[in-house]
Amino acid sequence: MSKNIRIKPYLHILEKDGIVSFIKTLDESIRIPSGKMIDTIVSVIQQNSNYDSVCDELSKHLSITLQEAELLLGKFIELGVLEWVDTVNQNEPGRYHRQQLLFDTIAPVADSSTDPYQHKLSDTHIMILGIGGIGNYMAMAFAAAGVGKITLVDFDVVELSNLNRQILFREIDIGKSKIASAIAHLNSLNSTIELKGIETKVHSQEELDILINDNGPVNYLVLSADHPPHLVLWASALCQKHQFKYVKCGYMAFQGLVGPLLGPQTKRYEELFESWKTVIEAQPKHFKSHNDSYIAPSMAATNAILANIAALEIIKDITGIASSALTEKRLLVDLKTMEISFG
């Protein structure tokens, strides 16, 4: 069966000062001396992707043997300029084509097939606790990316004040269950994945234990609920038992807190960060009363930034294309100055 070859489609080609650069990012490119060889390779492959034909044309135009042409193409495959391609899908990109190109930019493969990365996503179950502003965006990101099963957990109804940031919902959803509305809109985004909604509020570690046990196995648990503040400690206590990883994502005014991403093989949350649990529980009644009515300032733009950073890091962890920057770390994002640090 004939093989086909092409220049990786996300590369720009620029010639300057005797150098042809195949550019991936501002900081990363593959540089080749200008001349007949590189001009011929690019020209021939643009006209015909059939590997045997390309070898024949290179042999003829560069006055080299077929074996030398094969070695030359092999070197360019090794460099990451060229890749093998399935002509069946070459002109009919599928639903996940663009993200598969992104996966290849991060973890390049030689055969244009990043299907194993996509299969890992389709085999994953993510449970999201709380589908407010953060949970909305993370649910949409995972559904669009093709995560195989997404379970949403929330107990609330859609209110007018939600609509500035919880963009899964519409005016017609006001007064309706957040779970039912979110499931309907996510299903219209991607009907090929499994969506499940659970209308409940988690009050204790025991309830979280039962929730995960009854709806498992869960691979990743997203903690995006405003209350209770002890959720992260309950997840820390249960991740070994249920073998899931968990990520916390939220904000305080204009400061975003993304991460950490933890699990059975990492340190526990309380080993890395100070918990407010004891301090919160020690507050006098009138202080607790105010804290219980706390309202988090936010909007769609700020929620989108934080939630999508967290979603991307989980996708990196699922696929293995790169190590997550949130493993045992918390990213602090100053939304006023856009300064980013770990802390």
Percent of the chain residues topping a pLDDT of 70 = 97
Q: What per-residue confidence (pLDDT) applies to 88?
A: 53
Is the pLDDT score of 114 beyond 80? no
Are 56 and 66 a contacting pair, CB within 8 Å?
yes
Type of residue numbered 245: K
Domain 123-342 coded CATH 3.40.50.720: yes
SS3 12: strand
Is the pLDDT score of 1 beyond 60? no
Q: How many CA atoms lie within 13 A of 333 on its CB side?
A: 20
Q: What per-residue confidence (pLDDT) applies to 228?
A: 85
Sheet holding 29-33, edge to edge: 12-16, 19-23, 29-33
Average pLDDT over residues 317-335: 97
Q: How many CB atoms lie within 10 A of CB 113?
A: 16
Q: Long-range contact list for 196-204, CB < 8 A, 24+ apart?
A: 196/149, 196/150, 196/151, 196/152, 197/151, 197/152, 197/153, 197/154, 198/151, 198/152, 198/153, 199/154, 199/155, 200/153, 200/155, 201/155, 202/129, 202/153, 202/228, 202/231, 202/234, 203/228, 204/234
Q: Where are the domains of the chain?
A: 5-94, 123-342
pLDDT digits (tens, 9 = 90+) for 141-172: 999 999 999 999 999 999 999 999 999 999 99
SS3 238: helix
Q: What per-residue confidence (pLDDT) applies to 273?
A: 92
Query: Two tokens at 307?
Result: 């939630």
Are 84 and 1 a contacting pair, CB within 8 Å?
no
For residue 337, name the pLDDT band (cuts at 50, 70, 90): very high
Is the pLDDT score of 15 beyond 80? yes
| Whole-number Cα distances in Å, 301 to 84, 175, 233, 252 | 39, 24, 29, 15
Q: What per-residue confidence (pLDDT) applies to 312?
A: 98
Question: Which residues on neighbouring strands pair with residue 152, listed in sequence order?
Answer: 128, 197
Average pLDDT over residues 162-187: 97
For residue 316, name the pLDDT band (cuts at 50, 70, 90): very high
How do strand 194-199 and strand 149-154 relate by DSSP bridges? parallel
Is the pLDDT score of 110 beyond 80? no
Q: What per-residue confidence (pLDDT) applies to 278?
A: 76
For residue 90, name the pLDDT band (cuts at 50, 70, 90): low
pLDDT digits (tens, 9 = 90+) for 254-303: 999 999 999 999 999 999 998 777 787 788 888 888 887 888 899 999 99
Output the pTM of the full model. 0.92
**Cα 252 from Cα 294, distance rounded (Å):** 11
For residue 91, name the pLDDT band (cuts at 50, 70, 90): low
